[in-house]
Amino acid sequence: MYTIGVDIGGTSIKAGVVDEKGNITLSLQIPTKNSPNACIESIINLIKELIEKSNLTTNQIKGIGFGFPGMVNSKTGVVDFLPNINGWENIDFSSKIENAFGVKVKITNDANAHTLAEQKYGSAKGANNVVMLTLGTGVGGGVIIDGKLYEGEGSKGTELGHTTLILGGNKCGCGRKGCLEAYVSTTALINQAKEQMLENKDSALWHLCNNNLATLNGKIFFTELNNGDKTAEKVFDKYIIYLSEGLLNFCNIFRPEIIVLGGGISAQGKVLTDKITKYCKDNYYGLTGAPEVKIVTATLSNDAGIIGASALI
Amino acid sequence: MYTIGVDIGGTSIKAGVVDEKGNITLSLQIPTKNSPNACIESIINLIKELIEKSNLTTNQIKGIGFGFPGMVNSKTGVVDFLPNINGWENIDFSSKIENAFGVKVKITNDANAHTLAEQKYGSAKGANNVVMLTLGTGVGGGVIIDGKLYEGEGSKGTELGHTTLILGGNKCGCGRKGCLEAYVSTTALINQAKEQMLENKDSALWHLCNNNLATLNGKIFFTELNNGDKTAEKVFDKYIIYLSEGLLNFCNIFRPEIIVLGGGISAQGKVLTDKITKYCKDNYYGLTGAPEVKIVTATLSNDAGIIGASALI
């Protein structure tokens, strides 16, 4: 038997057939259409094509899982709202796919799908209690408890980026001030670097930016960090404190076996995790003998969406 | 069949026989002895007395549960550390009780026991996903997920008081700065009131304190708050923000069905929950249609320890 995983993104939709070991046997990609109806039609066609090209019948498909970039209700199968795709508000999604294929359909958000993928086949394989934080434009979260994805009422929990780091601090996209997301997202890191560049006109960051602050991005920042630029180092040291304090909260709240960091910034690997692990070790709640939380970066980057969505089944 | 629940406190130990409906049929209390060995001996005698006076035999006892004021490992049955009772460090507890009575023994910390009691028989009865915060000298936490107590690795999770409200803020007992506990414990509230009293010499709080700042306590504070003292109101309004922001974090992280507030401050009931509920409603992560989290105060105050400990069985 096979499952199908579909990773819905703002610009493209990727779907793959996944075998029982978590391997993608075939995957296809299409651009994201600009209305929910057109989008759903294209998704149905994409899945049909995937099944045909794999020489399978729907009888061999155990179910289809979807990861969405926004808010969904996994119980009702309704997509509540996708901030970056036009028109997706309160769309009764799962039933349409179920009607088209006659198989089980499950939906979740992309951070949850990625968390599930890491726990089933990636860096958190075999762990029963897992916390994942995705450090991208925003900060997403996923939590696995007793081997099962935890989503909260109406699938509205595990919004780990929207927890206070500094009450009344930087404005967050969610409307509150001082959320973790406002300090540890890529956007936040770039803003922190820009502020420091303005105070340090001799930073090598200016050179790679062609003296244009607006062109600073994560790649430039980490290039100069690894080159030893003092301004980049100063920014990163502060960033490590923000991120570690956020992770310490999740250690004290969940005391999971493992925390997985995903998203663009996680590509830094041990540059990131070595410092954070030390900070957390020094500051956990409890005695020194309390179990340590392993902190690692995600290993399934590009395929995590498909694999995680398929793992919902 | 019956269970026995034992509530270990810094000054007294309470034990009760609990029937299958959660009613305490008999309870006894002794002072807490000043060494672990003497204490364990007195606990064993207390339980024997309880069984005898109830005209029961150990065959009719399904098991014995214990709630401790500190860190325990519920899997190994070891009490790691009790900050307020002499000598309790790394004590292999459960096995001693098991040997004495030949029945199942379970241990947890007091906040977890109280959470379980509220979910089985109190204000959160019937809810599957519950978060509890106990607002006392410190701030404890308990979490129920899918109807089961969640404790984390080595039972070192759900330390909800030790999560950042203001990074680098007030010093917390745990060693970090800016933890929720440092803003919403009784101790913190009293300190906030003292600060405001110094700036408001005409506050009625001075009168009930006999002009001695050191005598301010929670009772005086809430008496004058309810009398309409402006200084007390100002302090309480700020306190509501601290507490609500902390609870919002737990809403966004867990999106539980219900949050239960326990501990001394929770005696204020709706004075507390009405304001907090409104604040949270206005600031949840997500759309206005996202499910609301019910916020209530605990209903099982004195007996919660015994009932919760017995509910471990």
What are the tokens at A226?
């690894």
Does the CB of B91 have a partner CB in chain A at under 8 Å? no
Same domain (yes/no): A189, A210: yes
Q: What average pLDDT does this structure show over B26-39? A: 96
Region for residue B168 given its phi and psi (left: phi exceeds 0; alpha: psi -120 to 50; beta: otherwise): left
Query: What are A237-272's pLDDT values in tens digits?
Result: 999 999 999 999 999 999 999 999 999 999 999 999
A185 and A75 share a domain? Answer: no
* Identity of residue A203: S
pLDDT at A144: 98
Residues A141 and A88 in one domain: no
Beta strand residue intervals within A88-230, DSSP E: 89-92, 104-109, 130-135, 139-145, 148-150
Pair (A184, A223) in one structural domain: yes
Question: Which residue from B minimizes the CA distance to A253?
Answer: B158
| Closest listed residue to residue A10, CA positions, set A50, A39, A45 | A39
Beta-bridge mates of residue B17: B4, B26
Range of the domain at A16: 2-120+303-310
CB–CB of B153 and A287 under 8 A?
A: no
- The confidence score (pLDDT) of residue B283 equals 86
Give the pLDDT confidence score for residue A286 in this predicted structure.
76
Say what the pLDDT of residue A103 is. 97
Give residue-wise pLDDT tens across range A5-30: 999 999 999 999 999 999 999 999 99
- Which helix (H) or strand (E) is A65 found in, with range? strand A61-68
The rounded distance, in Å, linking the Cα atoms of A262 and A265 is 7
Q: Mark yes or no for CB contact A252/B153 under 8 Å.
A: no
What average pLDDT does chain B have? 95
Same domain, B101 and B152: no
- Encode pLDDT of B110-145 as tens digits: 999 999 999 999 999 999 999 999 999 899 999 999
Both structure tokens of A45: 């066609």
pLDDT at A34: 87
| A residues 188-247 closer than 8 Å to B (CB) | 241-242, 245-246
**Together in a domain, B93 and B162:** no
Contacts of A153 in chain B (CB under 8 A): 129, 255-257, 291, 293
Give the pLDDT band of residue A65 (cuts 50, 70, 90).
very high
Same domain, A113 and A206: no
The nearest CA of chain A is from the CA of B189 a distance in Å of 17
* Number of domain units in chain B: 2
Looking at the fold, whether B147 and B270 belong to one and the same domain comes out as yes
pLDDT at position B302 is 84
Is the ipTM here above 0.90? yes
Residue A289's pLDDT band (boundaries 50, 70, 90)? low
Q: Which of A173-177, B150-154, B156-160 has the lowest mean pLDDT?
A: A173-177
Total count of residues recorded for chain A? 313
B57-81 residue pLDDT tens: 999 999 999 999 999 999 999 999 9
Residues from chain A that touch B141, judged by Cβ atoms under 8 A, are 253
User: Which residue of chain A comes nearest to B178, CA vs CA?
Assistant: A166
CB contact under 8 A, B81 and A165: no
Q: What is the CA radius of gyration of chain B?
A: 20
E-strand stretches of B69-210: 71-73, 78-81, 89-92, 104-109, 130-135, 139-145, 148-150
- On whether both B148 and B76 belong to a single domain, the answer is no
**Whether residues A137 and A101 fall in one domain:** no
Whether the per-residue pLDDT at B289 is higher than 90: the answer is no
Bridge partners (DSSP) listed for residue B241? none
B289/A34: higher pLDDT: A34
Q: What are the contacts of A194-197 at 24+ separation with CB within 8 A? A: A196/A231, A196/A234, A196/A235, A197/A231
Same domain, B198 and B259: yes
Res. A302 pLDDT band, cuts 50 70 90: confident
B88 in contact with A at a CB cutoff of 8 Å?
A: no
Strands A12-18 and A2-8: antiparallel
Helix axes A94-101, A36-53, angle to 10 degrees: 40
Query: Kind and range of the H or E element at B208?
Result: helix B205-208
Closest CA to A184 of A196, A206, A166: A166
Tell me if chain A has a CB within 8 Å of the CB of B177.
Answer: no
Full-model pTM: 0.95
Contact criterion met (CB below 8 Å) for B111 and B157:
no
Per-residue pLDDT tens over the stretch A128-146:
999 999 999 899 999 999 9
Nearest residue to B58 (alpha-carbon basis) of B3, B119, B121: B3
Residue B167 is part of a domain; what is its CATH number?
3.30.420.40
CA atoms within 13 A on the CB side of B181: 22
pLDDT of residue B57: 95
Average pLDDT, chain A: 95
Q: Report the greatest alpha carbon distance in chain B.
A: 65
Res A288: pLDDT: 65
DSSP state of B2: E
Predicted confidence band of residue B267 (pLDDT cuts 50, 70, 90): very high
Contact of A248 with chain B, judged by CB distance below 8 Å, is answered with yes
Tell whether B130 and B249 lie within a shared domain.
Answer: yes
pLDDT for the residue A290: 77
Q: Coil, strand, or helix at residue B207?
A: helix
Q: Classify residue A179 as exposed, middle or buried by CB count within 10 Å of its CB (0-12, 13-18, 19+).
A: buried
Instruction: For A192-206, write each residue's pLDDT tens digit.
Output: 999 999 999 999 999
Chain A residue whose CA is closest to B168: A166
